[in-house]
Amino acid sequence: MPYPCLRLADTLPSFGELVAFMTMSAKPTVSDVMAAAKREGRVLLQPRGGVGTYEGMRGLLTDIEQGGCADIMPVTVDSHTRLGRFDVATKCLENFPNRLNGFPVVSHGYQVMRQLNDACRKPLQIRHGSPDGRRLMAEAVAGGITSFEGGPIGYNLPYCADVSLEDSFASWAEIDELAGILTEMGHTVEREFFGSLTAVAVPPSIALACTFIEAVCASKKGVRAMSIAIPQGGNMVQDIAALEAIPILAQRYLPADCAVYSVLHQFMGIFPEDRPRADALIFSGALAGYFGKAQKIVCKTHLEAKGIPDTAAILDSLVLSRAGVTGRHVGLPLDRAPIDDERNAILRETQELLDPIVWETDVARAAIEAFHSGQMDIPFPANDAAKGDIFPLRDANGGLRFGSTGNLPFSKASIDRNNALLKTIPRQSHSTLVREAMMYFSNKEPIS
Amino acid sequence: MNSHVVPNTKGIVVLGSTSSDPHVVPLFLAKLMLEENGYQVVNLRCFNAPETFVTTAQDHEDIRAIVISNNNGAACEDLEGLSTALGRSKTRIPVILGGRAWLEFTPEIERTLHDHGITHICKDFDALLHTLETMKGTVPCHTLA
């Protein structure tokens, strides 16, 4: 029987061999450590990181692990592999490995992944950005990886101009099917959904709606451990509220036997260039994750504005984030009223987006049609499968709101609240305000 | 908050990024700004071959300009073939380039872009708007805004 994803290459192991290998593994899975974190109220940290060669990647992971602050190790994949250009990635690996901006998992193959996995005590997760990650998924799970990021919306619309939603939903259904089959056999493969989208000022309800559509589709294929990842927007009240919305939405939309985890990506937009402000943003992200009861934070570094960070910067940011997620630095009680109000508003918006889609028999089809009609949308999509009629603005407190709600099916209550919060911002053109919303943390003015 | 409603009376602008450039956010920002200032915008988004800009422009009447964005420094390579496509076109259309289209701007790059058919180069959104507002008719002229 041709198994999902494993059917794509003769070089991949048989399903039987894969299961035998997973049975022998003594390492904790990503799902194991996420479940423990949830049980114990801890926030796990995961950096990003990937280089081309095996030796370089093993060295990077070893250095990060020895730093002591990372709980889940990253394998960030290179751009060629993300786009399915495996031959280009292989040639690059052979001739110019330093040109690769990540680890070419398919070029190395699953046997090398097993060596890499064995070199670390902590579990590894694949982080990529492929609209079609099937081969990558096969090599990854065959290599001992127990968590795979991505989905048909978050890894398509922000990045790809020429991949239809029909194709990306079909590809990711196969990935979820393999994860579901393995889960059924007692080998949990966690799936993480990428709500950061274009990473530029994404309103929380949009991030949550996209990830929950993907999560519902995955649950129908048998996936039973999943992370909903949303981006830090930069307003602490809104970030905490958005994280608090995740378990409530999970209860409404996902089967009771699904383990659902909350993940916060530290700020994904335009970062401050100077270290003090970059570190402040990283620390505030850690605090938001702590107060919002996230199970994991995916960390940024102070070098974000300058390019790919070095190992020292990764380790520094993990220490800084660890200080934040202990909660020891802020012993003040939270003012619950604004957080509760914001969470309820996020829940209302998200449910207004999701309800017309996820109760349909064919959720993927309903989602695709919603994107085509603008009933579901994201800001600034690369792909014209989404209309891109919505754009973000920031209110007077830096909270992310809608400058235009396009054709989203929001109620009058949701639109009125959104507009009321934007009433106090200066009267400028929308293009200026959108630019200011994006550049919110990259101000170069002296700190006074 | 509703978008500012400005009558689109100043003509159509065809907008998009070059064939290797995934940066889509600047395109949406430019679209917003142009619409606020009275232009109608056809946003082709990212990864466009040179001929796509020209054939799209030919499909519309009242074309004011083609505006090409490049933010990965590959404008010279990506725009090869633009001059051929423009040559096949029966109308002369101003072609404006903006973004971070090179690592270091040199006279050689300027010549290459001019040879490809770029008529104006703009360093930011304000320059783009100024160029569109001050262009005389549709006769291309090569200027650095």
Q: Do B22 and A382 touch (CB under 8 A)?
A: yes
Q: Do B1 and A402 touch (CB under 8 A)?
A: yes
| Domain count for chain B | 1
Q: Does the structure show a pLDDT above 70 at B39?
A: yes
Nearest CB among B1, B22, B47 relative to A419 is that of B1
**Angle subtended by helix axes A134-142 and A110-118, to nearest 10:** 50
Domain-located, residue B4: no
Helix (H) or strand (E) holding A124, with range, is: strand A124-127
Indicate the CATH number for domain A6-325: 3.20.20.240
Q: Do B45 and A384 touch (CB under 8 A)?
A: yes
Give per-residue pLDDT as tens, A211-266. Answer: 999 999 999 999 999 999 999 999 999 999 999 999 999 999 999 999 999 999 99
pLDDT band with cut points at 50, 70 and 90 for residue B2: very low
Pair of tokens at residue A387 = 């209309």
Q: Which amino acid would we find at residue A320?
A: L
Confidence (pLDDT) at B89: 84
Domain-located, residue B5: no
B3 to chain A: which residues are within 8 Å by CB? 403-404, 430
Q: Does the structure show a pLDDT above 60 at B87?
A: yes
Q: Do A379 and B4 touch (CB under 8 A)?
A: no
A159 to chain B: which residues are within 8 Å by CB? 22
Confidence (pLDDT) at B3: 45
B24 to chain A: which residues are within 8 Å by CB? 158, 198, 380-382
Rounded CA separation A12/A390 (Å): 43
Give per-residue pLDDT as tens, A81-129. Answer: 998 999 999 999 999 998 888 999 999 999 999 999 999 999 999 999 8
Domain-located, residue B74: yes
What one-character-per-residue DSSP string does A401-447 give?
EEEEETT----HHHHHHHHHHHTTS----HHHHHHHHHTTT---SPP
Spans of chain A, pLDDT less than 50: none
A384 touches chain B (CB under 8 A): yes
Between residues A326 and B14, the one the model is more confident about: B14
CA angle B21, A214, A295 (to 5 degrees): 100
Residues of A designated as active site:
82, 149
Choose from A393, A431, A434 for mutation: most chain B CBs within 10 A: A431
Rounded CA separation A23/A323 (Å): 36
User: Residue B139: which domain range?
Assistant: 12-144
Domain-located, residue B133: yes
| Residue boundaries of the structural domains of chain A | 6-325
**What CATH code is carried by the domain that includes residue B59?**
3.40.50.280
Does this complex have an ipTM over 0.85? no
Burial label for A432, CB within 10 Å (0-12, 13-18, 19+), is: middle
Confidence (pLDDT) at B6: 62
Q: Does the structure show a pLDDT above 80 at B144?
A: no
Q: Nearest CA of chain B to the CA of A265: how many Å?
A: 20
Among B132, B125, B133, B131, which Cα is nearest to B145's? B131
Q: Do A381 and B47 touch (CB under 8 A)?
A: no
